[in-house]
Amino acid sequence: MNLVGYCYADHNPDSWEGWHWGAMHNWGFSWRLGIPEQYDLLEDALKNTEMIVFWSSDPEATSGIYSAFEHTNRRFWLKDLGVKMVFIDPYYNHTAGLFSDKWFSPRLGTDVAFALGIAFVWITEDLYDKDYVLNRTVGFDKWKDYVLGKTDGVPKTPEWAERESNIPAREIKALAREWASKKTMLSAGALGGWGGACRSAYGTEWARLMVLLMALRGLGKPGVNIWGTTQGAPATPASVSRVMRKAASPATWTTRRQGFAGLPHVRSRRSSHPEHRQLTLGPAHPTPEDPGLHPGRKV
């Protein structure tokens, strides 16, 4: 295979299991096997979201696993609403071909480095949601030290991430800053928290980083969540029609984007259970004594 320019790669069979063994430690519980709740996020995105980052996500090809093409219309609605769509995938996938405004192609297996480069920008430029991190998470300071290189002597700068991923540092910084400036949904994997880049060696670390990045953004606030565009019902036909009519009127664009009170809890925007409102942040490689492995209890 090398003679004709190919490199054999054997993927990890993990699907939801990659999120279970990885992201579960950062949620702080295992009730959904590490997979983020999708309920109610369609209407949230139509009303509030300004950008979607599709990271190792190709819903046009995977069909949301079980939902065929009913969600293709949703992405067209979102484009009509002016939502920017960014794709991170070594392969210029089918969904990117239809919808992408920007495509990043990291070297295979380097998604974690790319994500850490983004986190470095948010932390060092004070672009993360400090109130959310303080009141809704535990273990941030220890993880912050890891990102800044205080624990291992390797700052996870965009320049470091460039050497790992082949994505130019200037583009990592630009993405981080734009992401921080917009209400952004992260479509990570097949359903927004299934499969994707966790089907690789150490892919569980990628699943963990997806949760950590969204914790820095205030996961659960309007327009800010892990959502794959393939689920997220209910959204009533009347509500969709109302949103689309407003989007068509330039005079109502600003008011449509404003006026929604923040709902800073962790998973479904409708969740009221106190343990749902606590995220756990930890270092990239947890150890049994790490506080990041234990459910948080501050609410």
Instruction: Return the pLDDT at 253.
Output: 33
* pLDDT computed for residue 139 by the predictor: 95
pLDDT, position 62: 83
What's at 229, amino acid-wise? T
Tokens of 244: 């689309």
CA-to-CA distance for 111 and 29, rounded, in angstroms? 24
Confidence (pLDDT) at 290? 38
Q: In this structure, what are the phi and psi dihedrals at residue 53, rounded to the nearest 5 degrees?
A: -105, 110
- CATH topology for the 34-248+262-293 domain: Dimethylsulfoxide Reductase; domain 2 (3.40.228)
pLDDT of residue 67: 64
Q: Where are the domains of the chain?
A: 34-248+262-293
The reported pLDDT for the residue numbered 42 is 92
Regions of the chain with pLDDT less than 70: 1, 9-14, 64-69, 235-299
Distance from C-alpha of 82 to C-alpha of 56, rounded to nearest angstrom: 22
- C-alpha Rg value of the chain to the nearest Å: 18
SS (H, E, C) 166-200: CCCHHHHHHHHHHHHHCCEEEEEECCCCECHHHCC
* Cβ(208)–Cβ(22) below 8 Å: yes
pLDDT at 83: 97
| Alpha-carbon gap, residue 88 to 219, rounded angstroms | 20
Instruction: Return the pLDDT at 241.
Output: 67
Give per-residue pLDDT as tens, 143-188. Answer: 999 999 999 999 999 999 999 999 999 999 999 999 999 999 999 9
CA dihedral for 183, 199, 148, 26, sign (positive or negative): positive
In angstroms, the CA 43 to CA 236 distance is 8
User: How high is the pLDDT of residue 18?
Assistant: 81
Give the pLDDT score at 260. 28
Helix axis angle for 169-181 and 158-165, nearest 10°, is 120
